[in-house]
Amino acid sequence: MKDKLLNMLFRYGAVVVIIGVIAYFSLTLPYFFTYDNLTDILGSIAIVTFVAIGVTLSLIVDGFDLSVGSTVSLTTVASASLMIWYEQPFYIVILVSLAIGAVIGLLNAFMIVKLRIPDLLATLAVMYIVSGVHKTYAQGYTIYNHMQFPDGTKAPGEMAYSFLLLGQGRWLGLPFSVVLLIAAVILVHIFLTYTKYGRQMYVTGGNEEAARLSGIKVKKVRTLAYVASGLFAAIAGILYASRVGSGQIDAGAPLLMEAVAAVFVGFSVLGAGKPNVIGTFVGSILIGVLVNGLTMMNVQYFAHDIIKGIVLVLALSVTFYVLNRRRT
């Protein structure tokens, strides 16, 4: 009976918690369970979920990408500066920002795969490098329309309307960023579950030596995972700049920990017990609902991390307790 209860908690605990939290906030807050507020919650988690998808992919190959927050910051200021400082068209902004994410992913992969530096140490070093690069590039300033430079001149450009639609526009009643997120979650889930390359990522993360002996090109798989992580962080940076309408330094700094929390909460969704994109999405929703509800209850913002930490501890406790019992 005890094992059955634990297995039920393991499979459905996160979903039940989300339903319970939504029910509680709906009963105590009159404006919580409204279409506008629920879509606002989805819009608010879109950016962090793109970051979390990248972290998920790195964890699947038994790695960990600490550089995603800095990548968000760099692509945020880069996309803003390309339009505001250099008046570049929409497609150039998108392509350059994505290229930045891919290059950071390649740098991570080079250090991890070629130089054999442990993932945490390599991506920590890249995190500091990228953080310094974006602050130096922006000279510590937030980049906004027609901003004034220290010499008294003004930037010639401004954010393009088509670019702002990515983070502020709506399609069929949903924020456009949410539409992009749902599409990304579905495509990544299909890739990981139903393609041989997705299965190779899980095999590589489960036992790298066994994967190598079975003919899987382990180095290539790990490289692609980190490049994909950088690309998803770059998409998050683009959406961040589009949502706020400016390029803010350190924009991605707080996103890393929220993304990690979402990924690990996702371990317990439907009994996965491993990194998976559906679980990551559900974990992001849980964190978004908590933050939104606590904000509406006027709970001080600095207390939010306590609640998120407690939720993460509970989710991980159930997940790893059940996994360890299964192994024994």
Band (15; pLDDT cuts 50, 70, 90): confident
How many Cβ atoms sit within 10 Å of the Cβ of residue 32? 19
Which structure tokens are listed for 181? 């997120």
**In the chain, pLDDT over 70 holds for what percent of residues?**
91
The Cα angle at residue 46 between residues 74 and 75, in degrees rounded to 5:
10
Structure tokens that stand for 45 in this block: 């988690």
How far apart are alpha carbons 181 and 194 in whole angstroms? 20
pLDDT at 1 over 70: no
CA distances from 152 to 86, 117, 138, 144 (A): 17, 46, 16, 15
Q: Is the pLDDT of residue 325 over 70?
A: no
Supply the pLDDT for residue 225: 97
Q: Could you read off the pLDDT of 151-182 as tens digits, one per residue?
A: 889 999 999 999 999 999 998 888 999 999 99
Task: Inform me whether the pLDDT recorded for 262 exceeds 80.
Answer: yes
Cα(294)–Cα(265) distance, integer angstroms: 19
| Alpha carbon distance 106, 37 (integer Å) | 39
Helix (H, G, I), strand (E, B) or coil at 170: strand
CA atoms within 13 A on the CB side of 165: 6
Tell me: pLDDT of 147 over 80: yes
Amino acid at residue number 88? Q
- For residues 16 and 94, which has the higher predicted lDDT (pLDDT)? 94
Decide if pLDDT at 278 tops 70.
yes
Q: Is the pLDDT of residue 313 over 90?
A: no
Average pLDDT over residues 293-305: 84
Average pLDDT on 301-311 reads 79
Q: What is the pLDDT of residues 27-49, one digit of tens each?
A: 998 888 898 898 988 988 999 99
CB of 73 within 8 A of CB of 134? yes
Phi, psi of 175, deg, nearest 5:
-55, 140
End-to-end Cα, the chain, rounded Å: 18
Q: Average pLDDT, whole number, for the chain?
A: 89
Looking at residue 103, its pLDDT comes to 98
Other Cβ atoms less than 10 A from the Cβ of 164: the count is 17
Residue 10's pLDDT band (cuts 50, 70, 90): low
C-alpha distance from residue 164 to each of 50, 157, 239 (Å): 18, 14, 9
Distances (CA, A) of 318 to 8, 12, 145, 239, 284: 10, 11, 48, 34, 18
Beta strands in 43-177 (DSSP E): 170-171, 174-175
CB 97 within 8 A of CB 247: no
> Taking the CA of residue 59 as centre, how many other CA atoms within 13 Å lie in the half-sphere pointing to its CB?
22
pLDDT of residue 81: 96
Domains held by the chain: number: 1
> Among 16-20, 267-271, 285-289, where is mean pLDDT lowest?
267-271
Mean pLDDT of all residues in 101-110: 98
Give residue 177's domain range.
2-327
> What pLDDT, on the 0 to 100 scale, is given for residue 323?
63
Please spell the DSSP secondary structure of 125-159, one letter per residue. HHHHHHHHHHHHHHTTPPB-TTPBPTTS-B-S---
Q: Assess contact for 233 and 252: CB atoms under 8 A.
A: yes
In angstroms, the CA 270 to CA 277 distance is: 12
What letter represents residue 139's amino acid? Q
Render pLDDT for 54-67 as a digit per residue (tens, 0 to 9): 999 999 999 999 99
In terms of pLDDT, which residue wins out, 270 or 73? 73
pLDDT higher than threshold 80 for residue 253? yes
CB atoms within 10 A of CB 133: 17
What lies within 8 Å, CB to CB, of 185 at 6+ separation is: 49, 53, 277, 278, 281
pLDDT score of 286: 87
* pTM beyond 0.95, yes or no: no
- The larger pLDDT score, comparing residue 86 to residue 327, is at 86
CATH number for the domain harbouring residue 145: 1.10.3470
Position 117, amino acid: I
Please classify residue 150 by burial: count the beta carbons closer than 10 Å to its beta carbon, then call 0-12 exposed, 13-18 middle and 19+ buried.
Answer: exposed
